[in-house]
Chains A and B, each alone.
Chain A
Amino acid sequence: MPRPGFVLDVDRSTPPTLFWRGEGFSLEKLPPDRSRVIYAPEPLPAIDDIDGTIRHALDHPIDSDPLREQMFAGMKLTVAFDDVSLPLPKMRRPDIRQRVIEAVLDVAAEAGVDDVHLIAALALHRRMTEGELRHAVGNRVYDAFAPSGALYQHDAEDPDQLAFLGQTAQGEDVEINKRAAESDLLVYVNINMVAMDGGWKSTAVGLASYRSLRPHHNPTTMEASHSFMDQHRSELHHSTWRMGQVLVDAGVKVFQIESTINTDTFPAPFDFLLKREWEWSAKDRAMYLGTSKSLSKLPVSAARKIFHSIEAPHQMTSIQCGEVEAVHRQTTEHVYRQQLVEVQGQTDILTMGIPFICPYNVHSIMNPILVMCTGLGYFFNLYRNKPLVREGGVVIMTHPTLPDFNPVHHPSYIDFYEQVLADTTDPHEMSTTWEERYANDDWYRHLYRTSNAYHGVHPFYMWYWGAHGMKHCAKVIIVGGNAKAVRRLGFVPASTMSDAFEMASDVVGRSPTITHLKTPPLMIADVV
């Protein structure tokens, strides 16, 4: 029986705590008697018969007819699936998407459906490489559909592939992939790694255009989402749910398949990263010393290569399908069952170690903008009810924050860093002054459509993602970060954790309470 997550009150007997630092890690001693560490629940057991469970779910959907009853010969079927940003790190083969898509295609084949398209729902993310697509959908599916052009990636900049479906009551434009919108049935294959994923966000974001993303991917919406992990208090989710209603009204028939995975994030020999420090065996300690010392000697590119080659052993803990909102309610409960940790009260200082990966740098570089997004956009938002850190508190991250960019994946990020951040770090100001220019830049558009580049507007979205965190906190400190890059982000660099606490004291006083969010593995703090 896996142990639930818990909050450790740090005392003098507490060993130093592991902090991620990008492609490395360190052990930091937190002040006793006023610090606490939040440990994630242990991974839930995986489903034994995954393929059998998938077939059972397809035959017994929630608030919907079984999939086979919705299939008929001559129909137009579209299967959309989540892109490379999920799950993290990439899971061992076979990927859940492969298992689910193969099960859906089995049903389609039995029903005599010929017109099947498979679409990677990547919105404004970069196009996946062939290897990444093969990893996600498996070789059998790829080889059957890609050569004929029936397996492809959503292009949010191709006007011929987009269908405008109307506006919400708030005037939000809804425009999604034309093939998906005009199909007799759209099957969306989703992986829910966090509570934010899934629901109408899958279709209304994953298959949308810039025009349809603007209404919710903006600083105002992001600042009003408390948090992304709590759909009832997230303005982002309210917006996408409204868009979902437009889809339903327009006659788009969606069969939603959502799956949850456990938090078994790192395979041996990196599994010590998931353990609580006082439970480290001699082997774990040797692994820590060996990996941290050798990683520090390696060139960063080699260390990145090692980490991005990790294939996580996480496995499916649930699958449910049918009507979008009903399915998502169950999915969210499953995610909470795995990730929720009850935490008493807020803290003055929230510390977090930023790992090597986030959804937007798979097989790539964690550039400074993504460091900000991971810290203030994702980790800060891993809460329900109240943020972990009090309003006016301090966030301390640990990451090298090198001003390194992947020019293929993140071309617009380079200019964003040099041009926009040099001008302003205020999300609202950059939204009005700079966003349009990047979003409609022909070169970025060309790279997005033909290369493997994120859309021109994507760095703005990453910045907006952290808007709530930036507004909420009085100071953000990055320990071990490149001083110039950290200052460019508008944050404060510190050499050591002790220095960071000293720097924070002018905001939170001499004896602040400190909480460390020890993630990954992922968790959601239920702050009461």
Chain B
Amino acid sequence: MASVPSQYLRRAARAAGTLERTVARVTAPGRNVGFPLRAPTVPASVVVPAEPPTLGADYDTDWARTPIARAAREALTAGLMSVVVRRLTDPEVHGHDRLADLLKSRPDGDAEPPPVIFAPNHHSHLDTGLMVCSVPRPWRGRLVTAAAADYFFDKRWKATLSALALNVVPIDRESTGRKSADLIAGLIEQGWSLVIYPEGGRSPDGWGQGFKGGAAYLAARTGVPVVPVFIDGTDSIMGKGMSRPKPGRARVTFGHPIHPQPGESTRRFNDRIQRAVAQLADESTTDFWSAKRRAAAGATPALTGPAYAGWRRRWALTKRRQRGIASWRRPPERRWPDLG
């Protein structure tokens, strides 16, 4: 019995070796090419003057808000993106009714909704597509998303694709960029609503991260409300570090708009936003009333998870996931019985 598997192993090893040599032979010309087929290297003694940057936070996204680009994006959102998001996340959306008052407050005859800042938690690259497909329809046509300048705008093709498909604008995560803030504030003042992830990046371990003050600052600066949003389930579908998506279920819960109070500092306002999202998380994984009571008692579980590290933190995450939508089985596609 033992000789059979070893024989297979030897065959497999030989096949793998042959494959490796073939790949090496086929790709050799590509690996050995140098200048001029590849870009030249710069002599060590030469100091190349820096050219004005056109990528990262300096990428100009104005073109992505032209009528043609908007029309292309709407077609993309309604078509391909919507299909992909639905297939991967089978989303449930809750809380649109909480935004109804904002629409009512529009001046008479104004078709455009008032600009708001959506502040969801962030687990996955799918979050932006999910948000674009989930925000109430009046806001969808004039929605920009703040995205990490160092990730989405580091290469021209990536920047162009992101700007076209998701209408993202670059925001500098590494430093407080006045340029990014001015750009986004200007867009909000022009009536564009914003999706900004206050955590500053995807969750590294499935738990949330502390909120940065960007959303609170922009709301205070422009006077628009912040809508807290909790996205549940995308960390299991395509969390950070996953190379391929694993179709599952996601739930998007919108909260009541929060307005900055007169005299409230950005830090305090930011804390309120974070608490609101944590409450939505509690609501999303339990029920509205339980979450409400825990919030009233100041016992809402923190988004950032337990303070301890190591396996116990991961263990606690599995417990939370069991309560979340990710643990739900996909409902079987219901077939009507063939009645003949």
Measured CB to CB, the residues of A under 8 A from B are 8-16, 27, 277-280, 282, 285, 288-289
Known pairs A8-B46, A278-B46; A14 contacts B36 (CB<8 A): no
Whether, in the assembled complex, B176 has its beta carbon less than 8 Å from a beta carbon of chain A, the answer is: no
Known pairs A16-B35, A27-B35, A285-B35; A10 contacts B43 (CB<8 A): yes
Among A9, A11, A12, A280, contact of B40 (Cβ-Cβ < 8 Å): A280
With A and B bound together, what is the CA distance between A398 and B255 in angstroms? Answer: 75
- In the complex, residue of chain B having the shortest beta-carbon distance to the beta carbon of A272: B36
Q: Is the CB of B45 within 8 A of A280?
A: no
| Count class of interface residues, chain B | 10 to 19
Determine which residue in B34, B43, B46, B48 has the highest number of CB atoms from chain A within 10 A of its CB, and name it: B43
With A and B bound together, what is the CA distance between A104 and B306 in angstroms? Answer: 92
Q: Is the CB of A11 within 8 A of B35?
A: no
Q: Which chain A positions have C-beta within 8 A of B44?
A: 11-13
Q: Is the CB of B39 within 8 A of A282?
A: yes
Q: Is the CB of B36 within 8 A of A11?
A: no
Query: B22-41: which residues lie under 8 A (CB-CB) from chain A?
Result: 34-37, 39-41
Q: Is the CB of B43 within 8 A of A280?
A: no
CB of B39 to closest CB in A, whole Å: 7
CB of B19 to closest CB in A, whole Å: 32
Q: Is the CB of B41 within 8 A of A13?
A: yes
CB of A305 to closest CB in B, whole Å: 25
With A and B bound together, what is the CA distance between A27 and B35 in angstroms? Answer: 9
With A and B bound together, what is the CA distance between A19 and B35 in angstroms? Answer: 14
Q: Is the CB of B35 within 8 A of A15?
A: yes
Q: Is the CB of A289 within 8 A of B37?
A: yes
Whether, in the assembled complex, B42 has its beta carbon less than 8 Å from a beta carbon of chain A, the answer is: yes
With A and B bound together, what is the CA distance between A16 and B38 in angstroms? Answer: 12
Q: Which chain B positions have C-beta within 8 A of A12?
A: 44
Q: Is the CB of A11 within 8 A of B37?
A: no
Q: Is the CB of B43 within 8 A of A8?
A: yes
Among A8, A10, A279, A289, contact of B36 (Cβ-Cβ < 8 Å): A289
Q: Which chain B positions have C-beta within 8 A of A280?
A: 36, 40
With A and B bound together, what is the CA distance between A10 and B44 in angstroms? Answer: 9
29 contacts between A and B (CB under 8 A): A8-B43, A8-B45, A8-B46, A9-B43, A10-B43, A11-B43, A12-B44, A13-B44, A14-B41, A14-B43, A15-B35, A15-B40, A15-B43, A16-B35, A27-B36, A277-B35, A277-B40, A278-B40, A278-B42, A278-B43, A279-B40, A280-B36, A280-B40, A282-B39, A285-B37, A285-B39, A285-B40, A288-B36, A289-B36
With A and B bound together, what is the CA distance between A285 and B44 in angstroms? Answer: 21
With A and B bound together, what is the CA distance between A10 and B48 in angstroms? Answer: 16
Closest CB pairs A-B (n = 8): A15-B40, A285-B36, A14-B43, A15-B35, A278-B40, A13-B41, A278-B42, A11-B44
CB of A33 to closest CB in B, whole Å: 11
Q: Which chain A positions have C-beta within 8 A of B41?
A: 13-15, 278
Q: Which chain B positions have C-beta within 8 A of A13?
A: 41-44
With A and B bound together, what is the CA distance between A285 and B45 in angstroms? Answer: 22
CB of A230 to closest CB in B, whole Å: 29
With A and B bound together, what is the CA distance between A394 and B40 in angstroms? Answer: 29
With A and B bound together, what is the CA distance between A289 and B36 in angstroms? Answer: 7
With A and B bound together, what is the CA distance between A279 and B46 in angstroms? Answer: 11
CB of A461 to closest CB in B, whole Å: 39
Q: Which chain B positions have C-beta within 8 A of A11?
A: 43-45
